[in-house]
Amino acid sequence: MNAPLPIQPRDKAEILAQALPYIRQFHGKTLVIKYGGNAMTDPALQQDFAEDVVLLKLVGMNPVVVHGGGPQIEAALKRLGKQGRFIQGMRVTDAETMEVVEWVLAGEVQQDIVGLINQVGGKAVGLTGRDGGLIRARKLKLLDHKDPSVEHDVGQVGEIVAVDCSVVQALQDDAFIPVVSPIGFGADNESYNINADVVASRLATELQAEKLLLLTNIPGVLDKAGQLLPELTAAQIDALIQDGTISGGMLPKLAGAIEAAKAGVNAVHIVDGRVPHAMLLEVLTDQAYGTMIRG
């Protein structure tokens, strides 16, 4: 197999020049990035992600990272002999599972991400919903999406009551990159596991982000034939949910995306995180790798 030809200096310069309008357009703007899927578990993609985040910061944008950690939580539960269970894409979280969620997300996973970003020249700081009173939550009442009269008990899974972004904004102003674990706290100081897509969408709304990027394990939203849908409206998404095309973990992802789009986030993208430097391509070129959601 032949090695790829090196890019000539003239071509490199042309590529950089093509990124200039996007750098100008998004300079000083906030980008909220939900980091999950293969991008979190493949070492090469982890490196790409960290480099992308640092580059966006260095050219004057304000990336905020919200991470998931489903595979890591699942692996930790298995080591304890527990089997994960999901209802409508939400992890059922009893007290023991909540302990695991906290030490995996706010410990192992968050510190790995902070370390990766710092290693490539960034200044990342880890946060949970407790820090600076960032995310107040209460127990989620999960209604069955087919029969709203049925309510599912998913344990210590939370819905967001209020968000105070002052700690995130203070870090941004000091040239730091916030890395947020999706854990909220309740009125009695109890912890809640919150879907990371929902947290990313709410933060994007509160921060008046220019873009919300949701990295995932698939090309984007797919139709029944498995073909990519490059752009969707809220009405089209509702129809796809009703006919069963969209289900499982994509439900909270899309619910949050629609909410953010309707609340004024200029662009919401579900991005194929398996593509090297997909985030950079999404922000700095006109090449899309996923589905754009419109309110």
Domains and CATH numbers, the chain: 29-294 (3.40.1160.10)
CA distances 57 to 7, 32, 50, 172, Å, are 25, 12, 11, 10
Among the residue ranges 133-137, 158-162, 258-262, the one predicted with the least confidence is 258-262
Confirm whether residue 136 is marked as ligand binding: no
Reported confidence tier of residue 63, pLDDT bands at 50, 70, 90: very high
Q: Which of 1-10, 216-225, 245-254 has the highest mean pLDDT?
A: 216-225
pLDDT tens track for 140-171: 988 887 888 888 888 999 999 999 999 999 99
The residue with greater pLDDT, 182 or 275, is 182
What whole-number percentage of the chain has pLDDT above 70? Answer: 96
The residue with greater pLDDT, 295 or 229, is 229
**pLDDT score recorded for residue 53:** 96
- What pTM did the predictor assign? 0.89
What whole-number percentage of the chain has pLDDT above 90? Answer: 51
* Contacts for 98-102: CB closer than 8 Å, 24+ residues apart: 98/155, 98/156, 98/191, 98/192, 98/193, 100/73, 100/76, 101/73, 101/183, 101/193, 102/183, 102/191
pLDDT tens track for 166-199: 999 999 988 999 999 999 999 999 999 998 989 9
CA Rg value for the chain = 19
Confirm whether residue 38 is marked as ligand binding: no
**pLDDT score recorded for residue 2:** 53
The residue with greater pLDDT, 17 or 75, is 75
Smallest CA-to-CA distance from 89 within 268, 227, 273, 254 is with 254
- Asked if pLDDT for residue 232 goes beyond 60, the answer is yes
Q: Tell me the average pLDDT across 106-118.
A: 96
Question: What sign does the dihedral 147-183-185-127 (CA atoms) show?
Answer: negative
Q: Tell me the average pLDDT across 31-43.
A: 86
Confirm whether residue 217 is marked as ligand binding: no
Among the residue ranges 120-134, 211-225, 248-262, 271-285, the one predicted with the least confidence is 248-262
Confirm whether residue 193 is marked as ligand binding: yes
**pLDDT score recorded for residue 1:** 47
- Asked if pLDDT for residue 72 goes beyond 50, the answer is yes
